[in-house]
Amino acid sequence: MQVIYKSKGKAQEYAPLAVNLYHGCSHGCLYCYAPKVVGRNHDDFGSCIRPVENILELLEQDASSLVGDDREIMMSFETDPYQPIEITKNITHNAIQILKRHNLRFTLLTKGGMRAARDFDLLEGYEKASFGSTLVFIKQKDADYWEPHAASIADRFEAISLAHSKKIRTWVSLEPVIYPDQALEVIERLQNVVDHWKVGKINYHEKQEAGVDWSQFQKKVATVLKNTGASYYLKKSLTDQSGN
Ligand code: SF4
């Protein structure tokens, strides 16, 4: 494989395979680990966005070699598939069609909100696809601080709700939880439109809230999620309390 790769470390808790369609990401999240992973500084990573070279040709080749493989492919760990330039570049749009043509299983995770909605007709009725959004805040002022160039919370809520209404499998990445009360409120507000939840906490960030009882949050979030009837996964960052 050339552009589809096996997830490593904590990323394996999301999906066994992944592909990054773009270099860089314009959303500018303060907690983003991707610049470090790819060896770029935060400003450069957020300002120089371009499709990975020959990405669609290489993806086509990898997809051919994976026919019959049912492992889920994540788009994406080191960028967001719905960059503003996706509107004209159509990279994610074409990547979805390639993966579908080869009958492969995949999921999209984005903070691009309704920018993703133009691809919902491609996901509708394809049971091997799911659509996810990262949502850890209720207060827009906190999202503006931590995720300055991502779609607004309202826009992301709208995208998840619309996907659900089209019977696309939906999920929310509640990671990194920074303010436990806001995370619990996200669940409360979206419980009727989300099929799966993935929860992890912030780790080792200088701005993380001091004094959070993560053990108590873990118990509370598990109880709340059980009551929603949706499936959920608590990441090791949360269940391994040695990370506190
Ligand atoms: S959307 Fe994802 S890849 Fe983009 S800056 Fe935020 S955390 Fe990083």
Q: Residues 140-149: pLDDT tens digits? A: 999 999 999 9
The reply to whether ligand 1 has any atom less than 6 angstroms from the CB of 49 is no
Among 14, 19, 25, the mutation site with the greatest number of ligand 1 atoms within 8 A of its Cβ is 25
Of the candidate ranges 15-24, 117-126, 199-208, the one whose mean pLDDT is the lowest: 199-208
Q: In this structure, which residue's CA is closest to atom 6 in ligand 1?
A: 29
pLDDT value at residue 244: 43
Among 49, 74, 79, the mutation site with the greatest number of ligand 1 atoms within 8 A of its Cβ is 79
| pLDDT (average), residues 28-38 | 94
pLDDT value at residue 206: 65
pLDDT value at residue 242: 45
pTM for the model stands at: 0.95
CA of 123 to the centre of ligand 1 (A): 22
The reply to whether ligand 1 has any atom less than 6 angstroms from the CB of 25 is yes
Q: Which atom of ligand 1 is nearest to the CA of 77?
A: 3
pLDDT value at residue 208: 66
> Residue 198: pLDDT above 90?
yes
Distance between CA atoms of 125 and 68, rounded to whole angstroms? 19
> Residue 243: pLDDT above 60?
no
> Residue 230: pLDDT above 80?
yes
Band the pLDDT of 91: cuts 50, 70, 90: very high
pLDDT value at residue 35: 94
| pLDDT (average), residues 15-22 | 98
Of the candidate ranges 42-46, 98-102, 165-169, the one whose mean pLDDT is the lowest: 42-46
Q: In this structure, which residue's CA is closest to atom 3 in ligand 1?
A: 79
> Residue 12: pLDDT above 70?
yes
Q: Which atom of ligand 1 is nearest to the CA of 35?
A: 8
The reply to whether ligand 1 has any atom less than 6 angstroms from the CB of 178 is no
Q: Which atom of ligand 1 is nearest to the CA of 78?
A: 3
39 phi/psi in degrees, rounded to 5: 70, 35
Q: In this structure, which residue's CA is closest to atom 8 in ligand 1?
A: 32
Tokens of 80: 């967001």
Q: What is the mean pLDDT of the chain?
A: 95
CA of 227 to the centre of ligand 1 (A): 30
Band the pLDDT of 11: cuts 50, 70, 90: very high
> What are the beta bridge partners of residue 75?
108
> Residue 211: pLDDT above 90?
no
